[in-house]
Chains A and B, each alone.
Chain A
């Protein structure tokens, strides 16, 4: 008995020492706990295969090549393969900041027409070749070739000489000059643009290695074996196909070389990242629930189930606005004489009901057009975006008393079979409650925006996801008189246009923000030119037992180089 007791004491001592050793133990060769940069509070384990079912839950991407890709899902891969000059840091959603990735520093001139980027001298593509300023020049020239240019190529008109290149009238973009000796890329813009440092980080402006110059057909870059050589945290493990896209860490990448505030690791935590393609979102979610992947897009009707059983990004704001545009040229709703009618319409809409009934609470009621996360964003710019049926009724009655009337129900355009029918029905019911007759006018999705561009909009459903996180991407691209080829959606105000032009040229961030906000207030309150409904939120569910670290940025991207598995 005494020997047994002694043995037990010894065992207890050994176990106790083991626990202490485990608690105090540091890294060994098998368990690489990578740091997230200065101030990192958590360490994550290296290794494992991650299967994503969220990015391609409705079919494969058309193009992954940054020169050609148009969708958020494609850019999930593109941004894993390529790093641009800059990147927006959304750690503080109230104050997003542009940080340097491939660019060590940058300097605009006084009026924001010339930007000089100093490229870091220790970055490499996955094929071992160095990332140089000429890598960016090469990429810009490639992506602006008239025969190859993709849907976003119009952005090259930002550069002096860019439009001429796109039109085939010039052989190169004269406003982009690369100096590999000085490691500088100097860009001269066709107009002042104070936020250009945020724009240059857009996927279209990713660098390209010399290998692209050997291709006879640039379209082969994304289909050939060994294509899409990039400088990003990952590289392709095999050519892209319609079933899955497999990435492995790029050994030449080192995230700690970038701005330390980005908190990137030296190497991605994952050994392998697979984007699995599904033909149907519900099927993708079923696969997620069956344990066949670690992330999935939350589907309609299963939001509560996702919230109850998994972790989600539903609380993360996204840079997207869902709204209804009013055609100022239409005599039924446009012009100063119908401003009270527009006010009544906006105040009659129960945005809470739409959010709960249609989106199961996964959106945020919009208090303006520009969403949180955009530098310069301000909450509550819109005076008429709160549900107030009494005020709406009063405004409508005043409009009628002034001698106005509606000869027939107001048509509300929407693209058919894309999930907007219940939203429009709620709006019709809300308007009916205060005596405004309205009717839904469904237009086939394939031709919807084309018809709007031809003037079909009266009160038309619209939406916008930011191409890049700047205020003007929501103001200029949607509401400027020159936008959308003459803005046939129907809003035009010279004072608004002037404020935008001034804001874009202002380099002081606070002044620019103030100017953009003034412009937006004109749009929303003085003119009531549009009716914001809601802002998007995050869309991804993941299993917290399997995933140790994951977040979705406001532009719907998951920063894959920081994603880690709980038990790789």
Chain B
């Protein structure tokens, strides 16, 4: 197991190098001159003197290979550079954005796991009943509603209308923003923080919860038909123990894979949710950096997303061994 973990950690290095290098070169293939866009060229024609200064300041006049070399020399020292737009340290931007994204992702995944697993399990146990049909319809609708539409509906229902109807303050949620940014144990909101957290977390979890419920249902239906389930019942175990200890645990492999992917996506790609709720996360900042051609911010934040995916996948793979004792990770064994 230890050697497996070390091997997987070392594999992150080439993964990060290939991903960021690819992004680096794709950046220069995008239309538009970065220097012009930094100078505000999307809104006005730029004085040539301004262009010259910007090219000199950010090395954008150098060859691509020279810029590539400079970039990796700095990155190895964990100096992610400065934003082209406002010269803020990318390390600082990353620190703020990554933390906000991880907190939101944790809660979205908590909602996803609790609701998705319960709904999926219920659907599987009571398959073809009215509750199964109802959850099928609800999950289909939840996965079809665009995230930003759901976000606006929730804002309207839980913040705008309560204000217009003069509800008491304790009954109102907040439309947007990260609020007081007060947490304990890294991810547990304190004070008024939960009012700002709950709507974006539900919105972010909505699509993935529906998919997880469907995945859990499908996986459980397979497991429920297995011989060992009949054996467990025959041994006289309670139905709850049969379903949860024997059934659900064996059904979890594909489900936990999906949870891992969802967590990674929630950290780095929750663009619509972050934009709708003005939650200062990685996804929306990455998109803004593409539009602004802000290369250092784009690469720095993508690095964080790649690392997040890599670590989450590692944890998912390790969890396989816990769910299924037949799986032993390490040299000579398959995962």
Contacts and interface: CB of A to CB of B under 8 A. Distances in A.
B290 to A, nearest CB: 10
A23 interface: no
B241 to A, nearest CB: 47
A244 B196 CA distance: 15
A276 B42 contact: no
Given A151-B50, A450-B33, A485-B45, A59 B288 contact: yes
Interface in B27-43: 31-33, 36-37, 39-43
B86 A63 contact: yes
Contacts of B87: 219
Nearest to A282: B152
A111 B280 CA distance: 53
A154 B49 contact: yes
Interface in A289-330: 289-292
B30 to A, nearest CB: 8
Contacts of B49: 154, 166-167
Contact of A278 (B43, B44, B278): B278
B86 A286 contact: no
B47 interface: yes
A280 B32 contact: no
A464 to B, nearest CB: 9
Interface stretch (B156-164, B210-218, B257-265, B312-320): B156-164
A346 interface: no
A117 to B, nearest CB: 26
B172 interface: yes
State the main secondary structure of chain B at its contact with A. loop
A446 B160 contact: no
Contacts, number: 119
A286 B156 contact: yes
A553 to B, nearest CB: 21
Contact of A445 (B42, B88, B96, B159): B42
A565 B5 CA distance: 60
Interface of A: 59, 62-63, 70, 146-147, 149, 151, 153-154, 166-167, 219, 223, 241-244, 276-280, 282-284, 286-287, 289-292, 415, 444-450, 452-453, 484-485, 488
30 contacts: A59-B288, A146-B53, A151-B39, A241-B96, A243-B177, A243-B181, A276-B177, A277-B278, A278-B176, A278-B278, A279-B176, A279-B274, A283-B175, A283-B275, A283-B278, A290-B155, A290-B160, A290-B163, A290-B175, A292-B159, A292-B174, A415-B42, A445-B42, A446-B37, A449-B45, A450-B32, A453-B45, A484-B45, A485-B45, A488-B45
Given A154-B47, A449-B43, 19 more contacts: A241-B96, A243-B177, A243-B178, A243-B280, A278-B176, A278-B278, A283-B155, A284-B176, A284-B278, A287-B159, A289-B160, A289-B164, A290-B172, A415-B42, A446-B31, A450-B32, A450-B41, A450-B45, A485-B45
